[in-house]
Chains A and B, each alone.
Chain A
Amino acid sequence: MTTLAPPQPDALEPAPEPHGLRDGGRRRGVAGDHLFRWLALLGGLMVLVVLGLIAYSTTTKALPWFRKEGLGAVFSDNWDPAHHHFGALALVYGTFLVGALALLLAVPVSIGIALFVTEVAPRRLARPVIYIVDLLAAIPSVVYGLWAIFVLLDPLANLFSVVSSATADIPILKTLFANPSATGRSYMTAGIIVAIMITPIITSITREVFATTPASLKEAAYGLGSTKWEMIRGAVFPHSRGGVVSAVMIGLGRAIGETIAVALVIGASQNISLHLLGPGDTMASAIVLQFGEASGTYRSALIGLGVVLFALTILVGMAARGLVARVDRKTGAVA
């Protein structure tokens, strides 16, 4: 009985190069591995380095604003550049309001499309629908903005004034729909446009999560006699809850960063109000519209808005990634 000796390294190496240098060949193979590892590490670190540099350079340029108004500048509601006040609360509020409106409009539509594509539609129909929805993501932001200006603003302005006068006596709606914008430029219009822009990404993630529902779960539901909708409600939704939430948060991350389309249709009025049909402003829109003429503390304040936006987007993205990872571990899918 012979125990197998551990295999000699030579036996496992690939055949040496015909032109000799057997030792050189072995060293070259291992060196290649090291080189590859270093390059991959460098590539990965590069992303972190760039992110870090962006954070560092924007924060240093924004310091004059933080120094002048303190960190509370983010929580003060007085954006008045003419009098050198740069309180950003109205802009943070506007960013989240537009994000919330966009999610409110986009999430039901996206879940509906995802359900249609995974559960209801025959495969022949599902593929073109997926393709078209993904195409929406390829349209540039500025094109959405221009389309909104030329096609959407006028009908929306009429709609807003009709809705506003119709709800003038209903208690809560009266506040939500008061003071409609005469040109249609409002939080609501921005919300509609951003909803269209984030639908593709939410649909795509949700569709993949729905598709990972185990067939056994669905068959069990059918076996118990449920209809299609009961199966969806009983098997698909509970299984996909985490994934849908993460898709929504990824959509939110995109929504708060939308710049040009929002800038063109939001009306640039910094205020904290519940008048959804009235004009407003977001951080990204304020930066792009006001940067050209800004200098001194004003410029630092706008760069500071960028820092706040950057931090918020990273937080939302990290939360989304965390949830997605958790869901993937549960379902066994690859991230």
Chain B
Amino acid sequence: MRRSFVRGCGLFLAALALPVFAVGTATAAKSSTNKLAPVTINGSGSTLQLAYDQQVILVDFHKTQPTVTVNYSGVGSGAGRQAFIDQTVDFAGSDAPFPAADAAKPKGGAYLYFPTVADPITVSYKLSGVKSLQLSAETIAGIFQRQITKWNDAKIAADNPGVKLPSTAITVARRADSSGTTQNFTTFLNKAAPSAWTLGAGSTVNWPTDTQGASGNAGVAQIITKTNGAIGYVDFSDAQAIGMTYAKVKNADGKFIAPSTPAASLAVAGAAVNADLTYDPINVAGAKVYPITSPTYLIVYQNQTDASKGNAIVAMLNYVYGAGQKTAPTIYYAPLSKDLLARAKSQVAKIVVPAG
């Protein structure tokens, strides 16, 4: 009796130990196949995705792959794309695809666009006594073109029935430097209020003289927070970090929606996606969509020449499409929609990495 009891206990303990042992070897096997060769990859470009890249790629991804060092410098989408053409960086961050004239220029041959996250652009303001504001695209166009100069103008009152608006003068804050934020903001006004908006769409536009220009989202935010009656466009992550008040914007369906990561993700979901995975989420249809949402991409060469760099880039993209999507809302970026995420994940497989 005692011997069989001991044998039984022994078998029982062994049975308990087996799963632990199995998991142990399995984990060891996983980490030994996933550890990449030491390598440094460099990217540059968009400042809109800079905060996202710094957290998700430079910090979080680096923790999972300590031997891979990723450098990213926010020099602007245009400069990043040029560096990608000249192959001085391994990948570029850009808020817009290559313009048609530059599309064939990249020296490394075929390249792929990988959408990462989306960032809503807020219309932030400071007006004492007015805690909530809603604006249509035509009103925004009139304000930024200096046709509407006082807060109690009829057009603003029409968008805000029942709200008491003071007669304070409007101070318009906008970007002095060229930026993707300006590009997406003006593209929205071009699409949503084409007859009202005459300044066109671009990274720099010919703003009226009596608007205040400052460098960077932080500069615009500084002007808004210091001046009562100021209004300007600031991207969502900066607006949240500084604690700004922003307006609800009328979307294509006629509903006034506040900027938020879910509303931006709905814009991504509602956008038509091209075959190369570029998409335009600005002013798409949808009741709960936030219309001023900007896309951003990582651009990568399809045929990698260096095995260790190629594997590192693939691992980086897989991380962005895995844990990186969950981190996005916590740092005020909108993750991709399910459909676009699935297509992006399958595009990672198109990258050709040489063996070794």
**A and B bind:** yes
Give the residue of A79, A179, A271, A299 whose beta carbon is less than 8 angstroms from that of B82.
A299
**A291 sits at the interface (CB 8 A):** yes
| Any A CB within 8 A of the CB of B337 | no
User: How many residues of A sit at the interface, in one of the four size bands?
Assistant: 20 to 34
B308 within 8 A of A: no
Q: Is A33 an interface residue (CB 8 A)?
A: no
Q: Are A179 and B204 in contact (CB under 8 A)?
A: no
- Specify which of A79, A82, A293 is in contact with B77 (CB 8 Å cutoff): A293
A-contact bits for B285-320, CB 8 A (1 contact / 0 none): 000000000000000000000000000000000000
CB distance from B276 to the nearest CB of A (A): 18
Interface residues of B in 118-173 (CB under 8 A from A): 171
**B200 to chain A: which residues have CB within 8 Å?**
80, 82-83
Are B177 and A269 within 8 A (Cβ)?
no
CB distance from A66 to the nearest CB of B (A): 17
Tell me the chain B residues, 177-210 only, with Cβ under 8 Å from chain A.
Answer: 177-180, 183, 186, 199-207, 209-210
Pairwise interchain contact A268-B227, C-beta atoms closer than 8 A: no
Residues of chain A in range 285-304 having any CB-CB distance to chain B below 8 Å? 289-296, 298-299
Chain A residues with Cβ below 8 Å from B214 are: 183, 185
> CB distance B215 to A294 under 8 Å?
no
| In-complex Cβ contact of B176 among A179, A263, A296 (8 A) | A263
B324 interface contact, C-beta 8 A: no
Q: Tell which of B211, B215, B223, B227 touches A263, judged by Cβ atoms closer than 8 Å.
A: B215
Q: How far is the CB of B239 from chain A (nearest CB, A)?
A: 19
Q: Mark A169-200, 1 if CB is under 8 A from B, else 0.
A: 00000000001011101000000000000000
Q: Report chain B residues within 8 Å CB of A275.
A: 209
Tell me whether A183 and B176 are in contact in the complex, defined as CB-CB below 8 angstroms, given that A82-B204, A269-B207 are known contacts.
no
A267 in complex: contacting residue of B82, B101, B212, B227, CB < 8 Å: B212
User: A81 to B176, Cβ gap below 8 A?
Assistant: no
Query: Which residues on B sit within 8 Å (CB–CB) of A83?
Result: 200, 202, 206
- Are B207 and A82 interface neighbours, CB within 8 A? no
A185 to B82, CA, bound (A): 32
Q: In the complex, which residue of chain A has the Cβ closest to the Cβ of B173?
A: A183
Among residues of B, the one whose C-beta sits closest to the C-beta of A154 is: B226
Nearest-CB distance from A142 to chain B (Å)?
11
Distance of B76 from chain A, by nearest CB (Å): 2
Given A80-B200, A81-B202: A181 and B178 within 8 A (CB)?
Answer: no
A291-B213 CB under 8 A given contacts A81-B205, A82-B202, A83-B200: no
Kindly state whether residue B75 has any CB partner on chain A within 8 Å.
yes
B353 on the A face (CB < 8 A): no
**Nearest CB on A from B49, distance (A):** 14
Answer yes or no: B81 CB below 8 A from chain A CBs.
yes
Interchain CB contact under 8 A, A293 and B82: no
Q: Is the CB of A185 within 8 A of B171?
A: no
A83 nearest in chain B by CB position: B200
Complex contact A278–B223 (CB within 8 A): no
B81 contacts A295, CB within 8 Å?
Answer: yes
Chain B residues in 8 Å Cβ range of A263: 176, 215
Q: Tell which of B179, B180, B213 has the most Cβ of chain A within 10 Å.
A: B213
Cβ-defined contact, B209 with A273, below 8 A: yes
- Nearest residue in A to B169 (C-beta to C-beta)? A182
Q: In the docked arrangement, what's the CA distance between A83 and B197, Å? A: 13
Q: Are A82 and B205 in contact (CB under 8 A)?
A: yes
In the complex the two chains form, is B206's CB within 8 Å of A79's CB? yes
Known interface pairs A290-B204, A291-B76, A291-B79. Does A296 touch B102 (Cβ–Cβ under 8 Å)? yes
Nearest chain A CB to B169's CB is how many angstroms away? 9
* Contact code string A239-280 (vs B, CB < 8 Å = 1, else 0): 000000000000000000000000110011111010100110
Residues on B with C-beta less than 8 A from A292 are: 47, 75-79, 177-179
Nearest-CB residue, chain A, relative to B206: A80
Contact of B213 among A267, A293, A296, A298 (CB under 8 A): A267
| Contact with A289, one of B79, B81, B177, B212 (Cβ below 8 angstroms) | B177
Measured in the bound complex, the distance between the Cα atoms of B111 and A181 in whole Å is: 46
Tell yes or no: B243 within 8 A of A by CB.
Answer: no
From the candidates B77, B210, B212, name the one contacting A179 in the complex (CB within 8 A): B210
Q: Is B356 an interface residue (CB 8 A)?
A: no
For residue A221, give the distance in angstroms from its CB to the closest CB of chain B. 52
Contacts of A268 in B (CB 8 A): 176-177, 213
Residues of B within 8 A of A182 (CB): 171, 212, 227
A289 touches B206 (CB 8 A): no
Q: Is B99 engaged at the interface, CB distance under 8 Å to the other chain? A: yes
- Chain B residues with Cβ below 8 Å from A289 are 176-178, 215
In the complex, what distance in Å separates the CA atom of A181 from the CA atom of B210? Answer: 7
> Knowing A270-B206, A289-B176, A290-B178 touch, does A295 contact B99 (C-beta < 8 A)?
yes
Most interface-central of A273, A275, A279 (chain B CB within 10 A):
A279
A286 to B, closest residue via Cβ:
B204
A186–B294 alpha-carbon span in the complex (Å): 31
Minimum Cβ distance to chain B for residue A157 (Å): 10
Additional A-B contacts beyond A183-B227, A268-B177 (18; CB < 8 A): A79-B206, A81-B202, A82-B204, A182-B171, A182-B212, A183-B223, A185-B214, A268-B213, A289-B176, A290-B177, A292-B75, A292-B79, A293-B76, A293-B78, A293-B180, A294-B78, A295-B99, A295-B102
Give the 10 A-B CB pairs with smallest separation, nearest first.
Answer: A292-B76, A82-B200, A82-B202, A268-B176, A293-B203, A293-B178, A268-B213, A289-B177, A293-B78, A290-B178
